Structure 1
Amino acid sequence: MQKLPLLITTGEPAGIGMDVVLLLAQQGKLQDFARPIWVTAEAEAMQARADKLVAAGVLKTCPSWQTVTAQADVDDFITQISQQAAVDNDANDSRFTLLDMPCGAPVVAGHIEINNALMVARQLEIAHQLASGNTVAAIVTGPLQKSALIDADIKLLDGTMFSGHTEFFMQQSGCDKVVMMLANPTMKVALVTTHLALKDVPAAITQENVRQTIQIVLDDMQSKFGLAKPRILVCGLNPHAGEGGHLGVEESEIINPVLQEFIAAGIDISEAMPADTLFTPRHLEHCDVVIAMYHDQGLPVLKSHGFGDTVNLTLGLPYIRTSVDHGTALDLAGRGGASATSLYQALVMANEMADKALIVKG
């Protein structure tokens, strides 16, 4: 039985999303996953970008792909794409299937056009529906320009300003909470809080937030990574994990009581540990995932061990979503200099998770 496709959303058409897909196609690396690769982009813009990269000497030749043209009605397009899943797309070929989504204005590499923001949002809507309907095995997102979607007045389901992939997929899936995790070959780090000012972090470290984060991490480590009994280490909030209350009480009053609940339930999880000693080889070699309390507590350490190899994941969704760890790089679009390493690693992670999820379900 042929495996379900991996779906890449190229995101902002003026950025390097299409560039890095074309680079992997040129290198033949899209065949590494024994799965069809589907890509959302405008067909005309993809061809123009390929021609531009060939002219710049970045690509030797223009890669080939097959195109499924978008229907005006989203449901009709979903049906058409779903039928494509039954088409024999040789996974040993370096080609990909392009889901053609027309832009609202001509695409110029490196120059944001807010009239194309609706097409960017439509990519995400289609991706969500395909993943929810089990038509694709996973979503791998390329970079988007949040400012362009905000300027175009694109809103989330709850009517608030568009704030990113994570919030979009969370609301589309009806989830109350999801967890950001970044991973590379050295370690996996999940976050209790994400993009908060440092002064706002302590108030966000509540027992319920810590409890929900741990449960989501635990569930996804089991269901999407195939780890029946994951080993989890947890950072304290304060220096020296509070130094027995002398440097803060969040550990003793909030974090550790929750951790004790999981320990009592037989989960292999630590109490709050000082972050400056947790991230050492002695501890990490016996750990599957680290939970950090805030963004810059865990991610600088992780990225210092392989920035280009780092993948962003959203845990807690009913499907697999991985992402590149870079932005749109407008100055590199169509010119060369963009690296496809992060996209490749995001595909590797998505493919491995999809395979392990199948084993768990089976």
Structure 2
Amino acid sequence: MSGQTDVVKTTVPSELSAAVEHLRKSFDTIHFQFGWTTEQLCFWQLHGQTPKAGTRNLQEYAEALPHLKQRVGPAASQRFDKMLSRRTPPAIFKAFYDLYMDGLKFQIQLIFKGLLQMGFANGKNVSFGPIDWAKQLSEELIDHHRHKIPMWVKGVCDEQPYDPNEDIEERIFWRKWQAPHLLVMEPSRYAVYEPERVWERTDQETSLRWLDVFSQEYSLVLKLEVENLAGTAALQQAMSPPAEKPKEAQVSQTFNLHGPNSRINFSSTDNSTNVVHQASPFGEIRSALEQGIADATERTRLQTALNGLEVSTERESGTKRYEEFISAAANHMTLIAPFLPALGHWVHNLAASL
């Protein structure tokens, strides 16, 4: 869920809000498609081809991988294959991390171009120049999703243990997590590769610093893409003075975007392939309840609590209903524990209460 941030509320006119929200949601979708698929496969590779406890069908993610590689293009796909072929834990981590970043770079380019064309087509309605407008909204969207990077890093390294005595904040954010040294070893970072130390853990304070480095890199890489696109657009605008138009000519353009992951192309052919997954854990949780709880009354009770959580639209009620669901499922924690990190992340992504 992308949410209406202060930047969006103050810079997007009401007549453009639906179109802008569509582009923002496409970034949600790409974060899920690339992030969740690479997290599952990277964890599997790092842990001796053992899938996560809640993953019932790893083949689904294996089949999605070629489509993701096709989408980022041959150069990025070849870099992924070359890095993965090194087979060391730091190289495996870097291969999947870079593929995730390449998917995000591809999508932020499409989003910026869509916003730019929207700004030029509705210049009288945006508060400042179309290029700066598109740049600001793109950078804000990047920052809005920055918290997902530490979650991904933790998720490829470990599965979060369930502790009913932990407070709700720890269950969602897992602040006590301790990072393995493989994250900073060559080729992921610059420390010397020492096979015997790859799973040696550092302290919590250092772990937070390492996670922040990955978050900063995410912001820097994607914002650099936006900066380059904005510079190119400014150069093209300066080199192409607007053509004179007859005064009586009135041109109106409407851009209709339909379906998940719609594209906006500018004098180009879109050869990419969609890979669409449901960006929430509710479907898998329902399947687990159906298969794992024989008592119909008990199963219905948990499904009712889960349905109540799913319809939450803001974080305060979502957190309350999350706790109600956890309490209701206390006797079945082994069954639902694998889904709790994703469920907690979903609650965290709900819009904050006004």
Whether the TM-score (by the shorter chain) exceeds 0.5 is no
Which of structures 1 and 2 has the bigger CA Rg? 2
TM-score, normalised to structure 1, is 0.25
